[in-house]
Amino acid sequence: MELTAVLTPAPEGGYVVFNPETGTTTQGETIEEALANLREATALYLDFKLGHTARYVDLDRYGTVPL
């Protein structure tokens, strides 16, 4: 599964990043931080949707967030 990251500059600085496949949204001061936060938010979302079967979800197994 490949996941999409939609980055938007935030008016106050930094970036807001959204994953349309899962609906997860987060932010970061840099692009790298925003993407890392999105990976974490998406992993938590997938963990919940998969029935809490793992302590965390490895996005390398379930999908990638292209840079």
pLDDT in tens, 30-65: 999 999 999 999 988 888 887 765 454 555 555 544
Sheet of 24-28, strand order: 6-9, 15-19, 24-28
* pLDDT for 20 beyond 90: yes
Other beta carbons less than 10 A from residue 20's beta carbon: 11
For the question of whether the overall pTM of this predicted structure is more than 0.85, the answer is no
